[in-house]
Amino acid sequence: MDLSKLPRLSSSARPPAGDPNAATAPADDGPAPEVPPPRYRVDRDVAAAPGDFLDVLLAVGVGLLFMFMGQGYGRHLLGRTDVYPPITGTGFVWSAPHPKAGQPIAPEELSPENKATYDAQVTGRRMGIVSESSLFLSGVGL
């Protein structure tokens, strides 16, 4: 790539090749541009603006609210096993004329419509756990 073909980004003149002092001499571009005065006083000695306290108070309040709403997941993280007990059956039982009458039906033995109902229950439980975890972790972040 040929760098000489790129457009110039500055209007300063190139120093002559034979003059070694020209590289260190500052270029005289004329008078310095005027800097506008600040729109507010900078020399005030303020530790914290009143809005800062309210921002922190609001963030802590919303964070505690979210942690309260997702407290089941927080208890789960602390090792409580009773918060989300394991799924131990489908909720369906064999009817009377079947040889296994009165025994619970395993998930792989369910009919297609009952299998869809069972899968929807399992998915709903997982989404509930994910929902609680997102609330709790958002509260921790706040």
- What whole-number distance in Å separates Cα of residue 95 and Cα of residue 115? 17
For residue range 71-114, what is the model confidence (pLDDT) as tens digits?
999 999 998 888 888 888 888 888 888 888 888 888 888 889 98
User: DSSP character for 17?
Assistant: T
5-35, pLDDT tens digit by residue?
777 776 666 666 666 665 555 556 667 778 8
pTM of structure:
0.56
